[in-house]
Amino acid sequence: MSRDFKLIDVFHDQPLSGNPLAVVLGASDLETDQMQAITRWLNLSETTFLLPPTEAAADYRVRIFTLDREMPFAGHPTLGTCHAWLEAGGRPKTPGVVVQQCGLGLVNVRADGRALAFAAPSLLRSGPLDEADVAQIARVLRIDRGEIVDAQWADNGPGWKLVRLKSAEAVLALSPAGDGIERLDLGVVGAYPQPSELAYEVRAFFTAKAGDLREDPVTGSLNASVAQVLTGQGLVAAPYVASQGAAIGRAGRIFIDQDAHGQIWVGGRTQTLFSGKTVL
């Protein structure tokens, strides 16, 4: 069966500098194992499948897959899927706010003129990491334990563990271990000297099915939880701009804002770079 698909650049500073996302539209007849097989074949960090909503308040439903599992929520798939839905003619029930249904529940997405932005979901797990976890992370990052300034749970679905280093320079200098690693979803953050247009450098590492460590170019879910942790600790005030992907040749830009109710919004530019039809 033929169906539309789009390849979308999310959180980019200029075309081909963000995180690519494949969006398959009209995916209602695909089974879970077919979605997973398509995702593995495309070999992008995530692929999403656009479906009609099953909740009355939602504008659309999305299923989000990584190379080895389905995710309840992820950030760049949220913005990219919303972009694809709007580009395909979607019209939200409430003007100016798109309501996405995903495994985590309902997520609001809004347009702020230069970018789409999603409301950061509440953390599912927070608080300090166990010292054993911190020691393991130091080994994976191949740094001394003392270089880790802080270590927190920052889990909003993917299971992020977050460590803060003393500077953005220290984050960019990391050369982590490559394989044989137990399941790990790790965020690393360090501040830029101020004044600067950028507040923080962020890197995201995750283990693939074979146990090899991969780096995600730009990660919305991680930046959402980073913003919640850092603003909660009084280390940064929104609005600010974070950078991600520089260590692997990308120029991701993540726009963090906070409204009068304290809600964190995570924004990024989105652009369709390729589109076509599948034969599946």
Q: Which amino acid is at 239?
A: P
Look at residues 159, 163, 162, 126 and name the one whose alpha carbon lies nearest to residue 144.
163
Are residues 167 and 204 located together in one domain of the fold?
Answer: yes
Question: What is the per-residue pLDDT across 22-34, written as a single tens digit (0 to 9) for each?
Answer: 999 999 999 999 9
Are residues 202 and 271 located together in one domain of the fold?
Answer: no
Exposed/middle/buried for 230, CB within 10 Å: 0-12, 13-18, 19+? buried
Question: Are 9 and 273 spatial neighbours (Cβ–Cβ below 8 Å)?
Answer: yes
Are residues 151 and 222 located together in one domain of the fold?
Answer: yes
Residue 241: beta bridge partners?
A: 255
Given this model, what pLDDT does residue 236 score? 97
Distances in whole angstroms, Cα of residue 94 to Cα of each of 58, 260, 266: 10, 20, 20
Are residues 113 and 53 located together in one domain of the fold?
Answer: yes
Active site residue 87: no
- Total domains in the chain come to 2
pLDDT band with cut points at 50, 70 and 90 for residue 210 = low
Are residues 144 and 61 located together in one domain of the fold?
Answer: no
Are residues 143 and 171 located together in one domain of the fold?
Answer: yes
Neighbours of 7 (CB within 10 A): 18
Are residues 72 and 140 located together in one domain of the fold?
Answer: no
- The end-to-end CA distance of the chain, in Å, is 5
Look at residues 75, 134, 122, 65 and name the one whose alpha carbon lies nearest to residue 100.
75
Range of the domain at 50: 3-119+267-278
Distances in whole angstroms, Cα of residue 186 to Cα of each of 21, 51, 151, 175: 20, 30, 10, 14
- Give me the chain's average pLDDT, please: 94
| Separation of alpha carbons 74 and 47, rounded Å | 11
Are residues 40 and 132 located together in one domain of the fold?
Answer: no
Least confident of 49-53, 147-151, 154-158: 154-158
- pTM for this predicted structure: 0.93
Choosing from 31, 46, 55, 87, the catalytic residue is 46
Are residues 145 and 162 located together in one domain of the fold?
Answer: yes
Are residues 100 and 146 located together in one domain of the fold?
Answer: no
